Structure 1
Amino acid sequence: MQHSAELKTSDIRMLMESYGEDVWNYAYVITRNTHTADDVAQDVFIKAYQHIASFRGEASVKTWLLKITRNTALSYLRRAFLRRVVLIGEPSPGTGQNGTMRTSSSPSAESEYMERAEADELWKQVLKLPAKFRDPLVLCLHHQLSIDEISAITGLSPGTVKSRIYRAKQKVAAAWKGAIEDE
């Protein structure tokens, strides 16, 4: 296989055979979920196929694929964080009836921009929370720590941690709903 700017579309199968395991393993390390790692790995090779012309050969093919893997996996985690924070019972914009994100195999630039804008706005709402609510929420949802781990870090009882996470989600959801209604 060529390792230069002349990488051909026909090389995608070879890329998948040569680097599929590395891509999946790296996606799993980032997401810690086999199903998400499967989705990320599939998306990585779709993106590689779509953007094969942009590969300049400045890095190895493996490095290029792992960079795509990292960006794709982090994007999945941001979307998952968005769903966990916002979806406390009612679907938000961009979600289906069951509260899951509506996705297509190849989201448009506009939908990706809107998703990023929503995530940025959501983070602004999270950052506006008082520290006593913000810290447990971020530790739980972004860093995926257990109630006991958060309790050990913050010195709060597990019951207080649960209560603050619940109240933080309510505050963010209310602020989010208010921001949407203001538009």
Structure 2
Amino acid sequence: MDSTKVNGENEYLKYISDTADPKQVLRDLMVQYGNDIWNYAYSMTRRWEVADDVTQDVFMKAYKNITNFRNEASVKTWLLKITRNTVLDYQKSAFFRRVTLVDYMTTKATDHSAESEVMEQMAVSEIWAKVLKLPPKYREVLILYGHHQLSMKEIAAMLGVSEGTVKSRLHHARNKVIQLKESDANGSA
């Protein structure tokens, strides 16, 4: 990431953390990064209500820990890492596993659920729909790289893996999207 952009974001974070009004700090963070955080949470969970809950938790955690921000990454990368960790914690919870299992069983029992119809309508493009079909480890790197425009180094630090692993996952993710596209083309021909 461009160092002037990172410095600008860090100055922005210092400005909002020095603000006397806590509501304004939270509002500024949400306005600046809310869509990115929600989209990332949704891409990991593929559930609207969970993405809403995760997004709310992320901003509360960020606000509570704003003084611990070490300027080692951009504000956006810091918030995306909090998002990832919050989603992983949420997925480990017994509540999430029960709700997901119930949803899975009821979706299998019906032909088309309202949720699947909304998901199809919300797929802005053919490629986005294919990206959402990828396994989480591939979907995650593709979204962080393509949508959030993080560098390989930032993604590696965020995920706790080497840059080589990020490059490999990104390569496999792209190939899987191409395979899905080809299989759809062959199936409709």
Q: Point out the structure with the larger helix share.
A: 2
TM-score range (shorter-chain normalised) is 0.3 to 0.5
TM-score normalised per structure 1: 0.42
Query: Bigger radius of gyration, 1 or 2?
Result: 1
